[in-house]
């Protein structure tokens, strides 16, 4: 889970530095950047996922991870 979101110049958002809690409301008038803020979170999630998958591949090649799957 992300605990903080920071970004600069993402679409209509100039600077964002927002701590996140497990439960948080996103409220504002139309065209204030609510959906853009959610897009920032989605983009960060995708970047994290790509890096994590690459890390797993490198660790497997180095023999540091087994190929079994934990459920």
**Helical ranges in the chain per DSSP H:** 34-61
Flag whether pLDDT at 11 surpasses 60: yes
57 located within any domain: no
CA distance 22 to 20: 7
pLDDT, residue 71, reads 46
pLDDT, residue 27, reads 92
Residue 69's pLDDT band (cuts 50, 70, 90): low
pLDDT tens digits, one per residue of 20-52 = 888 889 899 998 889 998 898 888 888 888 888
Q: Is 6 helix (H, G, I), strand (E, B) or coil?
A: strand
47 located within any domain: no
13 located within any domain: yes
Sorted by sequence, the CB contacts under 8 Å of residue 14 that are 6+ apart come out as 8
> Exposed (0-12), middle (13-18) or buried (19+): which is 18, by Cβ within 10 Å?
middle
Range of the domain at 1: 1-36
13 or 69: which leads in pLDDT: 13
Residue 29 token pair: 């008038």
């Amino acid at each position: 889970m992300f605990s903080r979101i920071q970004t600069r110049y993402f679409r209509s958002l100039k600077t964002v530095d927002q701590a996140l809690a497990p439960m948080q409301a996103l409220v504002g008038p139309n065209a204030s950047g609510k959906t853009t803020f959610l897009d920032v979170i989605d983009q960060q999630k995708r970047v994290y996922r790509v890096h994590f998958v690459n890390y797993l591949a490198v660790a497997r090649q180095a023999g540091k991870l087994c190929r079994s799957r934990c459920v």
